[in-house]
Amino acid sequence: MADVKQENAGREPEEKSGKETRAKGISRRDLLIGAGLGASGLLVAGGTQLVNNLPDFAVETLINSAVANGRKPSYFADDAIHVITTGTGAPLPDPARVGPQTVVVVGDQFLVFDAGPGSTRQLALTGLNLSAITALFLTHYHSDHINDLGELMLQHWTSAGAVEPLQVYGPPGVEEVVAGYVAAYQLDKGYRIEHHGEDVMPPSGFGGVAYTFDLGDDLMSSEVVYTAGDVEVIAFNVDHPPVRPAVGFRVNYKGRSVLITGDTIYSDSLIQHAMGADLMVSDALNHKISQMVSDAGKDADNNLSTVTEDIQESHIRPEEAALVAAEAGVKKLLITHVLPPVPDLLINPFLRDARAVFPGEVRMANDGTMAKLPVNSDEIIITELLR
């Protein structure tokens, strides 16, 4: 088993409530406000009452510190795979989680997986320069995975004036999706160039360019879809009925590896492609809790009951993800795409069956959870960037 240690100075997420987190006042989150977010972000994060009582010099110092930290995140300097779950929610509204997104930073590679609703803002709060994104990979075209594509392409262009469009990799369908968002943002493109000038907003950097990979119908198939130096990204088919195609990704770097399942049910493909991975970032739907939500919503005048029952056939259960991880020799399991939404109080019940079948750590990811996998090591170091 890996030597797992935790750098997070805060408490375990299971012990936290969102209310407690927000009440802490100026925190590490405040100091991570990205360049350009400055005062407005600080007011929101720090609490209006607190800022109102600060003298001007203190406000200025905090803002300077926030912007400086936003420009120079030091988290990513080590020779390691850095995996950040910037969005850990799913299609159903969740006050604590935005839509699905996982980010991998390794060396000069800044790889983004999916663009769920709200994820671009969470990503910006990590302090990373969004114009430096080297590629976006899409797992499938359910709206909760592409909803923020337009915003991500826009921020990739505008944050620091990218001169090339965002590279977007995906299975067949990616060209149509990218073209749709590019079309929807054409008017805004014009406004921004007119407002800030072409030096600040180079027209060549607007939008995205689609790169299609086709793994065919064989559920076991996979291929390397991206390489850069020692970084390799493998796409593999997953089973996410009724969606075809749907893929997961594995990132390998200097003997360390992370598996991003995408949306899937339990399958042999998942086990095969997870084999020997250090970290598995997995979709999960707790069937017992989902059924409770469905039953509780039976009399409501909406589709909640039907939808929460239907989606049970499209997503892996936490205990099944744990079984895959155990069979594949994965060292650590990070649960994301949390369905149905649960408050922190219910995280332990959500993960209980998974923890019973996996010998390593099963952890619920938060928006901003970072796992660092240093090379020449078995360590997996967890840090919370946004709490």
Least CB distance to Zn ion at residue 366 (A): 17
Region label for 6, one of left (φ > 0), alpha (ψ between -120 and 50) or beta (otherwise): beta
Binding-site residue total for Zn ion (CB under 5 A)? 3
Quote the least distance from Cβ 238 to Zn ion, whole Å: 10
Tokens of 20: 């407690």
Q: Which is nearer to Zn ion, 87 or 360 (CB)?
A: 87
Q: Which of 114, 144, 148, 283 is the catalytic position?
A: 144
Q: Helix-strand-coil percent breakdown of the chain, rounded to 5?
A: 35, 25, 40
Segment interacting with Zn ion (CB under 5 A) among 177-185, 256-264, 299-307, 318-326: 256-264
Is position 353 annotated as part of the catalytic site? no
Is residue 263 at the binding interface for Zn ion, with CB under 5 A as the rule?
yes
| Cβ-based neighbour number of residue 198 at 10 Å | 11
Angle at 123 between CA 118 and CA 128, to 5 degrees: 155
Of 29-37, 263-271, 289-297, 317-325: span binding Zn ion (CB under 5 A): 263-271
Residue 246 C-beta: closest distance to Zn ion, Å: 7
* Number of continuous H segments (helices) and E segments (strands) in the chain: 15, 16
Q: How far is the CB of 170 from Zn ion (least distance, A)?
A: 13
CA distance 99 to 120: 10
Cβ atoms of residues 284 and 321 within 8 Å = yes
Angle CA 175–177–181, to nearest 5: 115
Please tell me whether residue 353 binds Zn ion under the rule CB under 5 A.
no
- Residue 239, interface with Zn ion (CB under 5 A)? no
Residue closest to 134 by CA, chosen among 158, 109, 106, 98: 109
Q: 314 near 290, Cβ under 8 Å?
A: no
Pick the stretch among 18-26, 31-39, 255-263, 348-356 that binds Zn ion (CB under 5 A). Answer: 255-263
387 binds Zn ion (CB under 5 A): no
Least Å distance, CB 127 to Zn ion, is 26
151 versus 239: smaller Cβ distance to Zn ion: 239
Site map 139..158 versus Zn ion, x via CB under 5 A: ---x-x--------------
* Residues annotated as catalytic (active site), given as ranges: 144
Question: Where along the sequence are the contacts to Zn ion (CB under 5 A)?
Answer: 142, 144, 263
